[in-house]
Structure 1
Amino acid sequence: MIKVTFIEHSGDVHEIETETGSSLMEVAMNNDVPGIDADCGGGCSCATCHVYVDSAWLDKLSPPDAMEESMLGLNTMREENSRLSCQIDTSDELNGLVVNLPEFQG
C-alpha cells in the first residue's frame, strides 16, 4: 500500500492509501475525490483529470509523452508541474505523492 494526497483548490485534503498499479486518476475516481472529472475514462483524450504535481515529486515521474503534451497544451490553466492523472501509474516509488487539483477542469 502507498499513500497519495490530493489537495483540492479549496484546501480540502484527501489522503488515500491504495494498492500500486492503478493510475492516479483511477485512485481519485475510486475514492470519490472531487475535482477529477475523467470524461474520457483514462484514454488521454481530454484533460479533465489535470493535476499539479508537487515540485518535490516531479523528478520521480516519467516526462509526459507526445499525447499527454498535446492534451495539456489545450488546457488554459497549464503550469510547469501540470500532468494528466490518467498518465501517472501508482508505484512504490510514489509513496507519499502530493498533487493539487485545479479550481476547474478544462
Structure 2
Amino acid sequence: MSDYYSQASQNLPLFDFGATAAETKAAAAKAAKPKRKVRSVVALERLQRAGADGLTRDELAAAMDLPIQSVCSVALQILRSGDAVEDGRKRKTACGHDAAVIVLKEFAK
C-alpha cells in the first residue's frame, strides 16, 4: 500500500500552480457560452410572469429547473444590463436565508 502512494506522489505534482484549473475554467466557459443567451431569455420570461412579485435567485432557479449555480450568473447579467433590478425586498430561500427579490425594470417601484 505504501508503494502505491509513493509512486503516485512521484508521478503527480502536489501543486500545479493553477494550470489545470485555468484549462478547466476556459473549457467550462466555452461550453456555457451557447447556453447563456437562451438562459437569459428564459429568465426574463420567468420574471415577466412573476410580475411585480418578482423572484429571488432561488425561485428563479426553481422556475427554470436549473441549479442555483447556473442561475446566479444569468441573474447578474440581467441586472447589469438594466433589464431588471433588486427592488429592496427580501424573501426566505428554501434553506431559510434572506434573498433579494429581482423584478423587471417595468415592475420596479
Q: TM-score, normalised by structure 2?
A: 0.30
Larger relative strand fraction? 1
More helix per residue: 2
Using CA pairs under 8 Å that are at least 6 residues apart, name the structure with larger relative contact order, 1 or 2. Answer: 1
TM-score where L is the length of structure 1:
0.30
